[in-house]
Amino acid sequence: MGKLSGKSAIVTGGASGMGRGVALCFAEEGANVAILDRNEAGAKEVAAEAAASGVKTVGLACDVGDEASVKSTFAASAEALGDTDILVANAGIDTTELIENMSTEMWEEMIRINLNSIFYCSREVIPAMKSKRWGRIINFSSQLAHKGAPLMAHYCASKAGVMGFTRSLAYELVEHGITVNCINPGPIDTPLYMGIPEDWRREKEASMPIKRPGRIEEVVPTVLLLASEEGSFYVGASMNMNGGDVMV
Protein backbone atom coordinates (compact mmCIF):
# COMPACT_ATOMS: atom_id res chain seq x y z
CA MET A 1 0.00 0.00 0.00
CA GLY A 2 1.42 3.36 -1.05
CA LYS A 3 0.90 6.61 0.80
CA LEU A 4 -1.69 7.71 -1.78
CA SER A 5 -3.47 4.43 -2.46
CA GLY A 6 -7.10 4.93 -3.41
CA LYS A 7 -6.66 8.62 -4.23
CA SER A 8 -7.05 10.38 -7.57
CA ALA A 9 -4.79 13.28 -8.43
CA ILE A 10 -4.51 15.94 -11.11
CA VAL A 11 -1.07 17.34 -11.91
CA THR A 12 -0.99 20.36 -14.21
CA GLY A 13 2.10 21.01 -16.29
CA GLY A 14 2.76 17.30 -15.96
CA ALA A 15 4.41 16.61 -19.31
CA SER A 16 7.90 17.58 -18.13
CA GLY A 17 9.99 18.93 -15.30
CA MET A 18 8.65 18.98 -11.76
CA GLY A 19 5.12 18.06 -12.87
CA ARG A 20 6.37 14.87 -14.48
CA GLY A 21 8.37 14.02 -11.37
CA VAL A 22 5.33 14.54 -9.14
CA ALA A 23 3.04 12.50 -11.40
CA LEU A 24 5.41 9.52 -11.49
CA CYS A 25 5.94 9.68 -7.72
CA PHE A 26 2.20 9.80 -7.04
CA ALA A 27 1.64 6.80 -9.29
CA GLU A 28 4.35 4.86 -7.46
CA GLU A 29 2.56 5.70 -4.21
CA GLY A 30 -0.71 4.26 -5.51
CA ALA A 31 -2.64 7.28 -6.79
CA ASN A 32 -4.54 7.36 -10.05
CA VAL A 33 -3.14 10.34 -11.91
CA ALA A 34 -4.36 12.74 -14.60
CA ILE A 35 -1.50 14.53 -16.31
CA LEU A 36 -2.56 17.85 -17.83
CA ASP A 37 -0.44 19.95 -20.16
CA ARG A 38 -0.67 22.09 -23.28
CA ASN A 39 1.66 19.47 -24.76
CA GLU A 40 -0.89 16.69 -25.21
CA ALA A 41 1.60 14.19 -26.64
CA GLY A 42 3.91 14.78 -23.69
CA ALA A 43 1.04 14.39 -21.22
CA LYS A 44 0.05 11.08 -22.77
CA GLU A 45 3.66 9.88 -22.71
CA VAL A 46 3.98 10.60 -18.99
CA ALA A 47 0.60 8.96 -18.39
CA ALA A 48 1.92 5.81 -20.05
CA GLU A 49 5.03 5.92 -17.85
CA ALA A 50 2.94 6.36 -14.72
CA ALA A 51 0.61 3.50 -15.68
CA ALA A 52 3.56 1.13 -15.31
CA SER A 53 3.03 1.48 -11.54
CA GLY A 54 -0.29 -0.35 -11.93
CA VAL A 55 -2.61 2.62 -11.48
CA LYS A 56 -5.12 4.33 -13.74
CA THR A 57 -3.77 7.32 -15.64
CA VAL A 58 -4.86 9.71 -18.33
CA GLY A 59 -2.99 12.38 -20.29
CA LEU A 60 -5.07 15.38 -21.34
CA ALA A 61 -4.47 18.61 -23.25
CA CYS A 62 -5.31 21.67 -21.15
CA ASP A 63 -4.64 25.39 -21.23
CA VAL A 64 -4.85 26.10 -17.52
CA GLY A 65 -5.16 29.84 -18.12
CA ASP A 66 -8.39 29.34 -20.05
CA GLU A 67 -11.51 28.85 -17.93
CA ALA A 68 -13.39 26.78 -20.50
CA SER A 69 -10.40 24.50 -21.08
CA VAL A 70 -10.05 23.88 -17.35
CA LYS A 71 -13.73 23.08 -16.92
CA SER A 72 -13.82 20.59 -19.79
CA THR A 73 -10.50 18.93 -18.94
CA PHE A 74 -11.27 18.53 -15.25
CA ALA A 75 -14.61 16.98 -16.19
CA ALA A 76 -12.78 14.54 -18.47
CA SER A 77 -10.40 13.67 -15.64
CA ALA A 78 -13.30 12.99 -13.28
CA GLU A 79 -14.94 10.77 -15.87
CA ALA A 80 -11.73 8.76 -16.31
CA LEU A 81 -10.48 8.57 -12.73
CA GLY A 82 -13.28 9.70 -10.44
CA ASP A 83 -13.44 12.85 -8.33
CA THR A 84 -10.15 14.56 -7.64
CA ASP A 85 -8.68 14.12 -4.16
CA ILE A 86 -5.38 15.89 -4.81
CA LEU A 87 -4.67 18.86 -7.06
CA VAL A 88 -1.09 19.85 -7.82
CA ALA A 89 -1.17 23.17 -9.69
CA ASN A 90 2.31 23.16 -11.14
CA ALA A 91 1.84 24.57 -14.66
CA GLY A 92 3.57 27.88 -15.29
CA ILE A 93 5.67 29.99 -17.62
CA ASP A 94 8.75 32.15 -17.18
CA THR A 95 10.06 35.03 -19.31
CA THR A 96 12.36 37.97 -18.69
CA GLU A 97 12.09 41.67 -19.56
CA LEU A 98 12.62 45.09 -18.03
CA ILE A 99 9.37 46.62 -16.81
CA GLU A 100 9.84 49.67 -19.02
CA ASN A 101 10.12 47.45 -22.10
CA MET A 102 7.48 44.90 -21.13
CA SER A 103 4.43 44.67 -23.34
CA THR A 104 0.96 44.49 -21.88
CA GLU A 105 0.58 41.16 -23.68
CA MET A 106 3.63 39.69 -21.88
CA TRP A 107 2.32 40.86 -18.51
CA GLU A 108 -1.20 39.54 -19.09
CA GLU A 109 0.01 36.16 -20.37
CA MET A 110 2.10 35.67 -17.23
CA ILE A 111 -0.83 36.47 -14.94
CA ARG A 112 -3.18 34.32 -17.04
CA ILE A 113 -1.02 31.21 -16.89
CA ASN A 114 0.61 31.54 -13.48
CA LEU A 115 -2.15 33.07 -11.37
CA ASN A 116 -5.58 32.89 -13.02
CA SER A 117 -5.00 29.16 -13.49
CA ILE A 118 -4.71 28.60 -9.73
CA PHE A 119 -8.18 30.07 -9.26
CA TYR A 120 -9.73 28.16 -12.16
CA CYS A 121 -8.26 24.80 -11.14
CA SER A 122 -8.98 25.13 -7.42
CA ARG A 123 -12.58 26.12 -8.04
CA GLU A 124 -13.22 22.95 -10.06
CA VAL A 125 -12.08 20.51 -7.38
CA ILE A 126 -13.48 22.11 -4.24
CA PRO A 127 -17.09 20.77 -4.38
CA ALA A 128 -16.03 17.11 -4.61
CA MET A 129 -13.39 17.53 -1.91
CA LYS A 130 -15.96 19.14 0.38
CA SER A 131 -18.38 16.27 -0.18
CA LYS A 132 -15.67 13.79 0.87
CA ARG A 133 -14.41 16.04 3.67
CA TRP A 134 -10.88 15.36 2.47
CA GLY A 135 -8.66 17.00 -0.09
CA ARG A 136 -5.24 18.39 -0.87
CA ILE A 137 -4.51 21.45 -2.99
CA ILE A 138 -0.83 22.11 -3.60
CA ASN A 139 0.11 25.22 -5.57
CA PHE A 140 3.50 26.02 -7.03
CA SER A 141 4.76 29.50 -6.21
CA SER A 142 8.45 30.52 -6.12
CA GLN A 143 11.10 31.81 -3.75
CA LEU A 144 11.06 34.97 -5.89
CA ALA A 145 7.63 35.75 -4.43
CA HIS A 146 9.57 36.62 -1.27
CA LYS A 147 12.41 38.64 -2.75
CA GLY A 148 11.67 39.79 -6.30
CA ALA A 149 14.18 39.77 -9.15
CA PRO A 150 15.28 42.10 -11.93
CA LEU A 151 13.70 41.40 -15.33
CA MET A 152 11.03 39.26 -13.68
CA ALA A 153 8.50 41.65 -12.12
CA HIS A 154 5.60 39.95 -13.92
CA TYR A 155 6.73 36.50 -12.78
CA CYS A 156 7.32 37.62 -9.18
CA ALA A 157 3.93 39.34 -9.05
CA SER A 158 2.17 36.23 -10.31
CA LYS A 159 3.91 33.98 -7.80
CA ALA A 160 3.29 36.36 -4.89
CA GLY A 161 -0.36 36.21 -5.92
CA VAL A 162 -0.27 32.42 -5.74
CA MET A 163 1.07 32.61 -2.20
CA GLY A 164 -1.64 35.02 -1.07
CA PHE A 165 -4.36 32.99 -2.76
CA THR A 166 -3.08 29.81 -1.10
CA ARG A 167 -3.26 31.28 2.38
CA SER A 168 -6.75 32.69 1.84
CA LEU A 169 -8.10 29.44 0.43
CA ALA A 170 -6.51 27.51 3.28
CA TYR A 171 -8.62 29.51 5.74
CA GLU A 172 -11.77 28.77 3.75
CA LEU A 173 -11.30 25.03 3.39
CA VAL A 174 -9.53 23.67 6.46
CA GLU A 175 -12.83 23.17 8.34
CA HIS A 176 -13.90 20.85 5.50
CA GLY A 177 -10.90 18.55 5.88
CA ILE A 178 -9.06 20.12 2.93
CA THR A 179 -5.53 21.48 3.24
CA VAL A 180 -4.10 24.09 0.88
CA ASN A 181 -0.36 24.75 0.76
CA CYS A 182 2.24 26.00 -1.66
CA ILE A 183 5.68 24.96 -2.84
CA ASN A 184 8.23 27.75 -3.35
CA PRO A 185 11.21 26.19 -5.08
CA GLY A 186 14.31 28.08 -6.05
CA PRO A 187 15.95 27.48 -9.43
CA ILE A 188 15.38 23.83 -10.39
CA ASP A 189 17.03 22.06 -13.31
CA THR A 190 13.98 21.77 -15.56
CA PRO A 191 13.24 22.68 -19.19
CA LEU A 192 11.46 25.84 -17.94
CA TYR A 193 14.52 27.00 -16.02
CA MET A 194 16.88 26.17 -18.87
CA GLY A 195 14.77 28.40 -21.12
CA ILE A 196 15.82 31.47 -19.13
CA PRO A 197 18.81 33.34 -20.64
CA GLU A 198 22.07 31.71 -19.61
CA ASP A 199 23.64 34.88 -18.24
CA TRP A 200 20.68 35.33 -15.86
CA ARG A 201 20.97 31.72 -14.70
CA ARG A 202 24.72 31.91 -14.11
CA GLU A 203 24.39 35.10 -12.09
CA LYS A 204 21.56 33.62 -10.03
CA GLU A 205 23.46 30.42 -9.23
CA ALA A 206 26.58 32.36 -8.25
CA SER A 207 24.52 34.35 -5.73
CA MET A 208 23.04 31.25 -4.05
CA PRO A 209 24.71 29.74 -0.97
CA ILE A 210 24.51 26.28 -2.55
CA LYS A 211 25.88 27.54 -5.93
CA ARG A 212 23.71 25.27 -8.08
CA PRO A 213 20.14 24.71 -9.18
CA GLY A 214 18.06 22.12 -7.39
CA ARG A 215 17.07 18.76 -8.76
CA ILE A 216 13.54 17.52 -9.34
CA GLU A 217 14.05 14.70 -6.86
CA GLU A 218 14.84 17.30 -4.20
CA VAL A 219 11.39 18.88 -4.60
CA VAL A 220 9.08 15.90 -5.14
CA PRO A 221 9.30 14.46 -1.58
CA THR A 222 7.86 17.68 -0.16
CA VAL A 223 4.94 17.54 -2.58
CA LEU A 224 4.30 13.95 -1.54
CA LEU A 225 4.34 14.97 2.13
CA LEU A 226 1.72 17.67 1.56
CA ALA A 227 -0.43 15.27 -0.46
CA SER A 228 -0.41 12.50 2.13
CA GLU A 229 -2.02 11.94 5.51
CA GLU A 230 1.35 12.77 7.06
CA GLY A 231 0.95 16.35 5.81
CA SER A 232 -2.39 16.97 7.51
CA PHE A 233 -1.03 19.62 9.91
CA TYR A 234 0.33 21.83 7.11
CA VAL A 235 -2.26 24.56 6.50
CA GLY A 236 -1.45 27.57 4.30
CA ALA A 237 2.23 26.70 4.51
CA SER A 238 4.93 27.91 2.13
CA MET A 239 7.56 25.22 1.65
CA ASN A 240 10.86 26.82 0.69
CA MET A 241 13.35 24.43 -0.92
CA ASN A 242 15.66 26.92 -2.58
CA GLY A 243 19.27 26.18 -1.72
CA GLY A 244 19.39 29.09 0.70
CA ASP A 245 18.40 31.72 -1.85
CA VAL A 246 15.68 32.88 0.58
CA MET A 247 15.94 31.85 4.22
CA VAL A 248 12.53 32.22 5.90
- Residue 238, C-beta contacts closer than 8 angstroms, at least 6 positions apart: 141, 163, 166, 181, 182, 184, 248
How far is it, in rounded angstroms, from Cα 182 to Cα 164? 10
Within a domain: 214: yes
Q: Is the pLDDT of residue 200 over 90?
A: no
| 6-10, 48-52, 93-97: least confidently modelled range | 93-97
Q: Is the pLDDT of residue 238 over 90?
A: yes
Within a domain: 74: yes
Average pLDDT over residues 40-64: 98
> Which amino acid, 173?
L
- Determine contact, residues 185/18, Cβ cutoff 8 Å: yes
Is residue 155 part of the annotated active site? The answer reads yes
pTM reported for the whole predicted model = 0.95
CATH number for the domain including 211?
Answer: 3.40.50.720
Average pLDDT over residues 210-229: 96
- Residue 11, C-beta contacts closer than 8 angstroms, at least 6 positions apart: 19, 22, 23, 26, 33, 34, 35, 36, 88, 90
Q: Is the pLDDT of residue 191 over 90?
A: no
Strands (DSSP E) contained in the chain are: 8-12, 32-37, 57-61, 86-89, 135-140, 178-183, 238-239
Please identify which of the residues 120, 155, 193, 234 carries the catalytic annotation. 155
How far is it, in rounded angstroms, from Cα 28 to Cα 51? 9
Closest CA to 213 of 185, 235, 233, 232: 185
- Determine contact, residues 141/98, Cβ cutoff 8 Å: no
How sure is the predictor about 58, in pLDDT bands with cuts at 50, 70 and 90? very high
Q: Is the pLDDT of residue 196 over 90?
A: no
Range of the structural domain that residue 175 is part of: 8-235
Within a domain: 127: yes
Residue 72 pLDDT: 98
Residue 192 pLDDT: 80
Within a domain: 41: yes
- pLDDT tens-digit series, residues 153-164: 999 999 999 999
What is the share, in percent, of the chain residues with pLDDT greater than 70?
100
How far is it, in rounded angstroms, from Cα 33 to Cα 14? 10
Average pLDDT score over the chain = 96
The structural domain count of the chain equals 1
Q: Is the pLDDT of residue 177 over 80?
A: yes
Within a domain: 240: no
Within a domain: 36: yes
Residue 190 pLDDT: 86
Within a domain: 241: no
Residue 1 pLDDT: 76
Q: Is the pLDDT of residue 145 over 80?
A: yes
What count of other Cβ atoms lies within 10 Å of the Cβ of residue 2? 17
- Contacts of range 104-113, beta carbons closer than 8 Å, 24 or more positions apart: 106/154, 107/154, 109/65, 110/154, 110/155, 110/157, 110/158, 111/154, 111/157, 111/158, 111/161, 112/65, 113/64, 113/65, 113/158
Average pLDDT over residues 143-167: 96
How far is it, in rounded angstroms, from Cα 187 to Cα 205? 8
Within a domain: 191: yes
Average pLDDT over residues 6-14: 97
Residue 197 pLDDT: 84
